[in-house]
A and B are shown apart, each in its own frame.
Chain A
Amino acid sequence: MTPLLRWPSRLVSYGLFCLLDHGFWLLIQLLPGPTLMGYAQQRPWQRLQWRLAPARQQLWRCRIAWLLRTRCRRAGWCSTCLSRSLSGRLLLDLIGVANELHLGMSKFRDGRKVPHAWLRDPQSGRLYTPGLSPGAGAPLTQF
């Protein structure tokens, strides 16, 4: 089986994805809430969508899913669930793959409740980024 990305490109694409994630993190800090929500819902970047053949689109979808999985495992400084989900949403939108951004409230073991965002494939229901743990969160909205 052909690897999704070979080693040098894997490193470069992961690096670029980290930059995108940090960029979204910065935007989340700087933009007022209504503007940010407007961008997340209206997705102005969809105008730049690339037309890909189905096989190529599927390959890129798998690559983006790998990037998101890897980023979610290693994320730390200047990265949040929302910045990662928005980065994934931007890339998936660019290749014309449907995705749903979910927002909810997650509960930690110590009882603290924090907002949580995750990205889901609406067709298969598979999660691109980790969602809520069963019984430890409540979904609020999706778009």
Chain B
Amino acid sequence: MPLSRNPEICAAELDGEVCLFNPENAEYLNLNSTGSSIWNLLDAPAELDELISTLQERYAVDADTCRSETEAFVAEALKRGMLMEIQPA
């Protein structure tokens, strides 16, 4: 299922890293460089595999590390409500 940013989340960039705030539960989140890159790529909805291949192209990182880090970030972001999965119509 394609992933997208939760439109309710407030985001700002500080020193090249993204800071997020969820007004629903007053939760702040400071993303590291990996998280910030993924957040920026999700400017438009994208599939997880699409995201992983773009990250691999952009950064010199091996496939396994890229997949595991991206999956870990996406799982955590989905759990915290920062990202959402777009349900097919």
Contacts and interface: CB of A to CB of B under 8 A. Distances in A.
A113 B26 contact: no
B31 to A, nearest CB: 11
A37 interface: yes
Contact of B24 (A37, A105, A140): A37
A99 B10 CA distance: 20
B11 interface: yes
A103 B19 contact: no
A141 B26 contact: no
Main secondary structure of the interface of B (DSSP, over half): strand
Interface residues of A, number: 19
Contacts, number: 47
Contacts of A37: 23-26
Contact of A140 (B12, B15, B17, B25): B12
Interface in A84-143: 103-105, 107, 111, 113, 115, 137-141, 143
B28 A141 contact: no
Contact of A141 (B10, B13, B25): B10
B27 interface: yes
Interface of A: 32-34, 36-37, 41, 103-105, 107, 111, 113, 115, 137-141, 143
Interface of B: 10-15, 17, 19-21, 23-28, 30
Given A32-B25, A37-B25, A103-B21, 11 more contacts: A33-B26, A34-B24, A34-B25, A34-B26, A41-B23, A105-B12, A105-B14, A107-B14, A137-B14, A138-B13, A141-B23
Q: Which 4 pairs between the two chains have the least Cβ-Cβ distance? A: A138-B12, A33-B26, A105-B19, A141-B10
